[in-house]
């Protein structure tokens, strides 16, 4: 199994500051900056996914024009991407949202605003314990 | 030769041109005005017939007005109320035409971009301090102090996520304004003014469906949303360590 520094992650959020915060967190956890990709909404993410094999997708929910939930559904429908771990990071934290995301195949869910420990725990559920 | 459907045809013909629509609006206004005037005339006649003096009075019992007269008075009050509401809506629509609503949306968008710029500057500064501490100069500081400052820098960066929450709250306000704007457009449409095409793409439709299902509410107010520990339970994650 390749090391954390070799893992490719796609961070999807319509707020550039949030993408920056998440990428910084991931770098602090051992990911390589060059392996972190960013998209501002679901449709932009799908374009990037066409050209890369990702080990993890971290996505916001409420984006325009394509939401994170729609992205999740599309990713799960496509055999090549169906198994990519998908973590939702969102302020949409009603039980209905969480249930809907689980039903659509999300692997984990982070409520905004979050802390560094939460990001670490959720990444560890995907890749195992980090150093 | 006139037929049963002729009035509809005439109205459709008038709706086809700006002059025709203006004529129809003026005509409706005149008809409403005439109807109110006729009602007032009827009321005055009823007053005369029943020997009631004109002018403001109390209820049926107090002034001696019959129940019918009181009812007419209420109807006229309601009509006048509706007319002033329509005038107020028309005034809002005129404001919208001059771009006031767009200007409000621009102001709110500026809040997002201003906080975004400020947040990036804060994060740049935190990054610069971190780089300094990780460099040679950082070695001159006691190790415990250096680590503590690095932790604080990480906290600053994480705290900058407020900008995302702020932005989402502002967007909620913009969406409410747009919703009101659409209602005004609908009223304009009913008054004979063209309304913009509400059709959108498949993606827009999916987003609208999620919004209607209450899945795009944005950040909730304190106490109204589930917290991270409740979410963790739903995913059977190991419990969060206290931080």
Q: Mean pLDDT, to the nearest integer, of B70-86?
A: 78
Of B161, B210, B216, the CB nearest to A113: B161
Query: Which structural domain, as residue segments, surrounds residue A81?
Result: 4-126
Domain range annotation of chain B: 9-52+65-97, 99-192
Cα distances from B82 to residues A71, B79, B88, in angstroms, run: 47, 5, 10
> How many CB pairs (< 8 A) connect A and B?
128
* Distance linking the first and last C-alpha atoms of chain A: 15
pLDDT of residue B67: 73
In this structure, is residue A92 part of a structural domain?
Answer: yes
pLDDT of residue B202: 75
pLDDT of residue B47: 65
User: Which residues of A lie closer than 8 Å to B, measured between beta carbons?
Assistant: 13, 15-18, 20-21, 24-25, 28, 43, 61-62, 64-67, 69-70, 91-100, 102, 107-118, 121-122, 125
pLDDT of residue A23: 95
pLDDT of residue B243: 42
pLDDT of residue B94: 63
Q: Is the pLDDT of residue B114 over 70?
A: yes
Mean pLDDT of chain A: 93
8-state DSSP, A87: E
Task: Specify the higher pLDDT residue, A96 or B58.
Answer: A96
Q: Is the pLDDT of residue B75 over 90?
A: no
Torsion angles phi and psi, residue A31, rounded to 5: -75, 155
Q: Mean pLDDT, to the nearest integer, of A5-9?
A: 94
HSE on the CB side for A73, CA within 13 Å?
12
CA separation for the pair A69, B124 (Å, rounded): 31
Chain A hits for B218, CB-CB cut-off 8 Å, are 62, 91-92
Q: Mean pLDDT, to the nearest integer, of B192-213?
A: 68
Chain B hits for A21, CB-CB cut-off 8 Å, are 123, 157-158, 160-161
Quick one: pLDDT band at residue B1, thresholds 50, 70, 90?
A: very low
CB contact under 8 A, A17 and B119: yes
Q: By mean pLDDT, which of B111-115, B157-161, B219-223 is the weakest?
A: B219-223
Cis peptide before B28 (omega within 30 of 0): no
With a CB cutoff of 8 Å and minimum separation 6, the contacts of B20 are B13, B14
Residue percentage of chain B with pLDDT more than 90? 9
Q: Is the pLDDT of residue B99 over 80?
A: no
Chain B hits for A87, CB-CB cut-off 8 Å, are none
Quick one: pLDDT band at residue B7, thresholds 50, 70, 90?
A: low
* Angstroms from A91 CA to nearest CA on chain B: 5
Q: Is the pLDDT of residue A33 over 90?
A: yes
pLDDT of residue B49: 62
* Angstroms from A7 CA to nearest CA on chain B: 22
Q: By mean pLDDT, which of A19-28, A58-67, A122-131 is the weakest?
A: A122-131
Of A25, A43, A112, the CB nearest to B165: A112
CA separation for the pair A116, B155 (Å, rounded): 8
How long is chain B? 243
Q: Which range in A19-28, B64-73, B76-85 is most confidently predicted, on average pLDDT?
A: A19-28
Chain A hits for B213, CB-CB cut-off 8 Å, are 96
Whether A49 and A79 have beta carbons less than 8 Å apart is answered as no
In this structure, is residue A131 part of a structural domain?
Answer: no
* Angstroms from A100 CA to nearest CA on chain B: 9
With a CB cutoff of 8 Å and minimum separation 6, the contacts of B25 are B191, B192
Domain with residue A85: its CATH number is: 3.40.50.2300
């Amino acid at each position: 199994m390749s090391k954390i520094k070799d893992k490719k992650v796609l961070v999807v959020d319509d707020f550039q500051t949030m993408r920056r915060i998440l990428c910084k967190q991931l770098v602090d956890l051992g990911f390589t900056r060059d392996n972190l990709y960013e998209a501002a909404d679901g449709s932009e993410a799908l374009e990037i996914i066409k050209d890369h094999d990702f080990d993890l997708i971290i996505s916001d929910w409420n984006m325009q024009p394509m939401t994170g939930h729609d992205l999740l559904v599309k990713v799960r429908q496509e055999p090549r991407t169906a198994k990519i771990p998908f973590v939702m990071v969102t302020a949409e934290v009603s039980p209905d949202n969480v249930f809907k995301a689980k039903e659509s195949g999300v692997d984990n869910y982070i409520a905004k605003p979050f802390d560094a420990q939460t990001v670490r725990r959720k990444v560890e559920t995907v890749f195992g314990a980090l150093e | 030769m006139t037929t049963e459907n002729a009035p509809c045809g005439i109205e459709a013909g008038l709706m086809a041109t700006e002059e025709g629509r203006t004529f129809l609006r003026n005509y409706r206004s005149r008809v409403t005005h005439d109807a109110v005037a006729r009602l007032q005339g009827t009321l005055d006649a009823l007053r005369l017939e029943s020997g009631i003096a004109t002018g403001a009075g109390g209820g049926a019992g107090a002034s001696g007005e019959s129940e019918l007269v009181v009812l007419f008075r209420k109807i006229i009050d309601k009509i006048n109320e509706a007319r002033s509401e329509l005038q107020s809506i028309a005034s809002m629509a005129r404001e919208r035409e001059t771009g006031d609503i767009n200007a409000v949306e621009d102001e709110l968008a500026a809040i997002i971009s201003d906080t975004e710029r400020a947040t990036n500057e804060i994060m740049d500064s935190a990054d610069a301090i971190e780089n300094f501490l990780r460099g040679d100069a950082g070695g001159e500081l006691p190790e415990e102090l250096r680590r503590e400052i690095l932790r604080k820098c990480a906290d600053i960066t994480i705290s900058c996520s407020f900008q995302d929450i702020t932005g989402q709250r502002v967007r909620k306000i913009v969406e409410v304004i747009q919703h009101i704007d659409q209602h005004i457009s609908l009223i304009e449409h009913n008054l004979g003014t063209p309304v913009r095409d509400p059709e959108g793409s498949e993606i827009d439709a999916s987003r609208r469906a999620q919004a209607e299902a209450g899945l795009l509410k944005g950040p909730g107010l304190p106490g109204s949303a589930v917290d991270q520990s409740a979410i963790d339970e739903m995913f059977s994650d190991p419990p969060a360590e206290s931080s």
